[in-house]
A and B are shown apart, each in its own frame.
Chain A
Amino acid sequence: MDSLAHDPPQSVAVQGLARPQLDLELRGIRKRFGGFTAVDGVSLKVEKGQFVCLLGPSGCGKTTTLRCIAGLEEPDDGGILIGGKEVTRDPPWQRDIAMMFQDFALFPHMTVAKQVGFGLEMLKKPKAEIARRVQHVLKSFEILELAERKPASLSGGQRQRVALARAMITEPRILLLDEPIGALDYSLRETVMLELKLLQQRTGISFIWVTHDQNEAFSLGDLVVVMNHARIEQQGTPEDILQRPSTAFVAGFVQGNNVFHGRVVDHSAGLLRVETAAGTFMVPSIGKAPDLGSEVSFSVRAERLTDAVTDQHPNRLSVKCTTVEYFGAVRRHIFQRRDGELLKYDQFGAQSQRIAVGQTAVLGWQVEDSVLHVGVGG
């Protein structure tokens, strides 16, 4: 088994040279439960050692996608390749993956040591090797002193470590994580996130991390995949998603965007004039310019607005401040837009001019800070 996995046949090796090796490839997978479509044509390529975050609201299909990769659900349609090998119809125990469950799914009747060694036992490793590797893994996860304890007597953080050790010990090609820190105390999450990121980089195992928390996704993921209504809305680096959201959903889901919907009333020289219920704004066109009169949406990030409006800021609107919030060093002002939506404006540090609640201000932004949404797959 082992030698096969490490010395692939010649033809495969040549193929592997021809294109970058993918740890995972999803080819248009679909999954329906009765009348409900949970996953609707999801395609994804994960390169070797990539950290991928599936991000989306609950019910968007991210967990079902993960379960299809694990083999816990069989897709109705489409293909799944792990390490270049077709596994779509293979059961979970024949796939080169491990999975960490949201509530950790520890076996209540097994000690930590037995639990962590379970995967190796299933691979029929010799007893001495299992004992040695369990010892090593427990030590590196700093849970050696828990070896003889059972899950019921462990704290949340300890359980999380045991679950991770249990999944990592078999050195799978891909580790699937379903909201792995959602069950932890808030204060623990940041530390655990950092540890997991370092672990992923050290081991080179691909992580596929499902979360609804964008802070997790943006601080961890090399690739962030935003899902909604069973489909992928956008995939890209955190930078791509934050700075260039490609749909109104992504822009609205990601914190700090102001989204506008409107109609194109004019276009010239790569600039669109978009009429919205909150005013008319200039937006740079991306790719082929949309037809006159067509419905478009665009967004502008809250920190790109300014209250010191000059000739540089042709996009302007006059709004009344309703709330001021503080996020660490950021002061966020919430304004009421004319169309009833809210407008967010972030100020950093100790800027001289402050806007008080109830005050009306003119806010503006530069043309190039408007980001046109070019749609799914754009």
Chain B
Amino acid sequence: MSTIRVRSPASYWLAFPAATWMLGVVVVPIVLLVWVSFWGGRAFSTSSPLTLDNYTKFFANPTYIKLIGSTVVHTVTLMAVTGVLGYCIAYFLVVKVKSPRWRLLLFLAFIVPFWTSTLIRAIAWVPFLGVNGVINQTLMFVGATQSPIEAFLYSRAGITMAQVSLYTMLAAGPVVYMLNSIPPQLREAAMTLKAAPFTVFRRIIFPLTLPGVVIGQVLVFLNVMSDFATVATIGGNKHALLSNLVMLFYEGSQIRAASVVAVMLMICMLVGVVVALRVVDIRRLGA
């Protein structure tokens, strides 16, 4: 396909700019981060001795351990909700909407909100979730409740609601792609082989979209794990996840503790991605 041979000088030159960039903004900072997390003493100095003290302190505090647990639980919840919603939306868009014009319109309606930044979208939830917010006003108007419910804003439920809206598209996108690449004849062939619609879905469609599901889940997983902005805006100061702890230590100039939590966060993410790759060979996507 390409006229440039593998391992030729030209191919190395092509890879050079991106490789330099990644080295500078990803590899070096991560190495620094890991290094700092082992620093002993109190001075901000490259001559600090290397110790395990920072990690010992982290693991000695049950609150932090629980925070890892609750971060994982929160992330898994979000993966489940966005996974189901995203799959339904993708299936609806690709399979049920027959008119190309409607499909485009719905798809635009679906992605236009994502043209604004994550932070703005998170803040936009505040007027919805607040005590005098849209949701409470509506509930009181229809008579579902007498007094406003305070559980929406500054609560775990509110964070989850906002993040579901933020990340469902990440879960849906790869599934849309995979569904689109399934020839309609496969569905028809299965039906003529006596498979009823749900069986066709279970045996043919879902297995073929599985790589898309897994990629979507990885994207949601990584984004939710690292999303401190939504948690800070919607959760106020009452709720925190691992990423907020990094912020907290950083703002308190506790650079060693911040590094330790950041390293823990990265380890959690790495484990998650490795598990995902075990389930499905993502490299097959391009084939």
Contacts and interface: CB of A to CB of B under 8 A. Distances in A.
A95 B193 CA distance: 10
Interface stretch (A104-112, A198-206, A232-240): A104-112
Interface stretch (A118-126, A179-187, A262-270, A345-353): A118-126
Nearest to A109: B207
Interface string A172-197: 00001000000000000000000000
Contact of B195 (A97, A103, A122): A122
Given A107-B204, A108-B208, A109-B207, A101 B189 contact: yes
B192 interface: yes
Contact of A72 (B188, B193, B195, B203): B188
A130 to B, nearest CB: 13
B193 A118 contact: yes
A107 B190 contact: yes
Contacts of B203: 118
A92 B186 CA distance: 13
Given A107-B204, A108-B208, A109-B207, A101 B188 contact: yes
A109 B194 contact: no
Contact of B189 (A71, A91, A95, A99): A99
A368 B146 CA distance: 97
Contacts of A91: 191, 196
A166 B188 CA distance: 14
Interface in B191-212: 191-196, 199, 203-204, 207-208
A170 interface: yes
Given A98-B193, A109-B208, A166-B193, A92 B199 contact: no
A109 B178 CA distance: 13
B95 to A, nearest CB: 15
Nearest to A92: B191
Interface string B167-202: 000000000000000010110111111111001000
A95 B191 CA distance: 10
Contact of A97 (B188, B192, B196): B192
Interface string B102-117: 0000000000000000
Contact of B194 (A101, A122, A176): A122
Contacts of B194: 93, 119, 122-123, 170
Nearest to A178: B185
B192 A70 contact: yes
Contact of B199 (A70, A107, A122): A122
Nearest to B185: A105
B196 A93 contact: yes
Nearest to A123: B194
Contacts of A170: 193-194
Given A103-B185, A105-B186, A92 B207 contact: no
B255 to A, nearest CB: 49
Interface string A68-106: 001110000000000000000001110101110101011
A119 B193 contact: yes
A293 B193 CA distance: 56
Interface residues on A, range: 20 to 34
Nearest to A163: B189
A106 B183 CA distance: 10
Contacts of B195: 93, 118, 122
Contacts of A105: 183, 185-186, 188-189
B185 A101 contact: yes
Contacts of B190: 107, 118
Interface in B35-58: none
Given A108-B208, A109-B207, A122 B193 contact: yes
Interface string A106-143: 11110000000011001100000000000000000000
Nearest to A176: B192
A123 B194 CA distance: 7
Contacts of B193: 93, 98, 118-119, 122, 166-167, 170
B191 A72 contact: yes
Interface in B207-230: 207-208
Contacts of B191: 71-72, 91-93
B19 to A, nearest CB: 33
A2 B194 CA distance: 15
A70 B191 CA distance: 9
Contacts of A176: 192
B205 to A, nearest CB: 10
Contacts of A167: 192-193
Contacts of A108: 208
A38 B204 CA distance: 29
A281 B285 CA distance: 67
B61 to A, nearest CB: 47
A122 B195 CA distance: 6
A92 B208 contact: no
B100 to A, nearest CB: 14
Nearest to B193: A119
Given A118-B190, A119-B194, 10 more contacts: A93-B193, A98-B192, A103-B183, A105-B185, A105-B186, A105-B188, A107-B186, A107-B190, A119-B193, A122-B193
Interface of B: 183, 185-186, 188-196, 199, 203-204, 207-208
28 contacts: A70-B188, A72-B191, A91-B196, A92-B192, A93-B194, A93-B196, A95-B192, A97-B192, A98-B193, A99-B188, A103-B185, A105-B183, A105-B185, A105-B186, A105-B188, A105-B189, A107-B186, A107-B190, A107-B204, A118-B195, A118-B203, A119-B193, A119-B194, A122-B193, A122-B195, A122-B199, A167-B192, A176-B192
Which 4 A-B residue pairs are closest in the complex by CB-CB distance? A105-B189, A105-B185, A122-B194, A92-B191
